[in-house]
Structure 1
Amino acid sequence: MSFRIRLDDLRGASVHALLREHLAGVALHSPPESIHALDLEGLRAPGMSFWTLWDGEELLACGALKELDATHGEVKSMRTAAAHLRRGAARAMLEHVVAEARRRGYRRLSLETGTAAAFEPAHRLYASAGFVPCGPFADYVDDPYSCFMTLEL
């Protein structure tokens, strides 16, 4: 499969639709106070890079990298469109984000995701890429609805 990943300006209608799908999916499985997914404004914040993954003109997935400090980044907004699951898009996006973190010289890449059964495919993807469970990082706090993982680079 030959995907094309591009740095995205968050202006396209298909990108907005995928982010709405992402936020709605997270809201189905986590209480509001435990949702850390970013909206458009959050993804446009300083220190944030956002990419989309395409097959031709079709948007398959998105992902973002937030700089926490000069040596630590955070994976954000990883989502594959429901119509394109199990095509390798999530793995390709995660590999891109990890490669970018390495290129930037980060020593660690972390993430927060949900703990509900619906997040189990994400847990497996992250574990297969070398991420291991960790405690809260950055501004996060212990939360039974949050799963924290990290990857030493």
Structure 2
Amino acid sequence: MDLRIVEDDLSGEAIRALVALHLSGMHAHSPACKVHALPVEKLRQPGVTFYSAWADGNLAGMGAIKELDSDYGELKSMRVAPAWLGRGMGEAILLHLLNVARARGYSRVSLETGQGPAFEPALGLYRKHGFVNCEAFADYVLDDFSQCLTLQLPKPLPPGVQPHPS
């Protein structure tokens, strides 16, 4: 499979349809006041970098990273296209976003998500990669539905320094 994850300006019909599907899914599985998924116009705001994932020339998923401050980012709008569910696409997008965060020098990334069966696959992926529950951040409020997760990112080693074997 040829996989490319690229920064996207959200102008294409396919990506706009996937964003709409994401918003629709969030509204279907979340209380209306708890839908924090961003529409296209907010995904284009300064401080938000949006990526699309393309497998064999087909749109396979999306994700974004929002800068909260110079060393802290938030993951947003992670979604896999239905035809690509269960094929490792979510993990590929997550790893790409974490690499972007490391390249920017972030010390941690966080996210807000819901609870319940619709959110379990994503929660399993985040936990697999070390995310743990945390206090609310930004404007989020923890309650019976919303939960926040965070991941501390290791500080990059200076050029030429090798990691010490454990």
Q: CA deviation at 1:143?
A: 2.6
User: Paired residue for 1:71?
Assistant: 71
DSSP 3-state at the match of 2:76 = strand
> Would you identify which runs of 4 or more consecutive aligned residues in structure 1 move more than 4 Å?
none
Q: Give the structure 1 partner of residue 114 of structure 2.
A: 114
Q: Which is bigger in relative contact order (C-alpha 8 A, separation at least 6)?
A: 1
Tell whether the 8 Å contact from 2:132 to 2:151 is kept in structure 1 after alignment.
yes
Query: Residue 117 of structure 1: CA displacement?
Result: 1.2
Which runs of 5 or more residues in structure 2 are unaligned? 154-166
- 1:83 corresponds in structure 2 to 83
TM-score (norm 1): 0.97
Counterpart CA distance in 2 for 1:54 and 1:109 is: 24
Identity of aligned residues (%): 51
Q: Which residue of 2 aligns with 1:41?
A: 41
2:67–2:73 contact (8 Å) kept in structure 1 = yes
CA distance in 2, matches of 1:117, 1:68: 29
Deviation by residue 1:35-78 (Cα, 9 ceiling, x = unmatched): 10000111001100000000122000000000000111000000
Partner of 1:12: 12
Whole-Å separation in 2 of the counterparts to 1:9 and 1:142: 32
SS for the counterpart of 1:17 is: helix
Which residue in 2 is equivalent to 1:101?
101
1:131 corresponds to: 131
Aligned counterparts of 1:35 and 1:143: Cα–Cα separation in 2: 13
Which residue number in structure 1 is paired with residue 160 of structure 2? none
User: Contact 1:53/1:62 (CA < 8 Å) preserved in 2?
Assistant: yes
| Secondary structure at 2:130 match in 1 | coil
**Structure whose alpha-carbon radius of gyration is higher:** 2
Question: RMSD of aligned C-alpha atoms?
Answer: 0.8
Q: Displacement of 1:152 after TM fit? A: 0.2
Equivalent pairs, count? 153
User: Aligned pair 1:24/2:24, yes or no?
Assistant: yes
Contact 1:110–1:151 (Cα < 8 Å) also in 2 = yes
Q: Is the 8 A contact 2:4 2:55 kept in 1?
A: yes
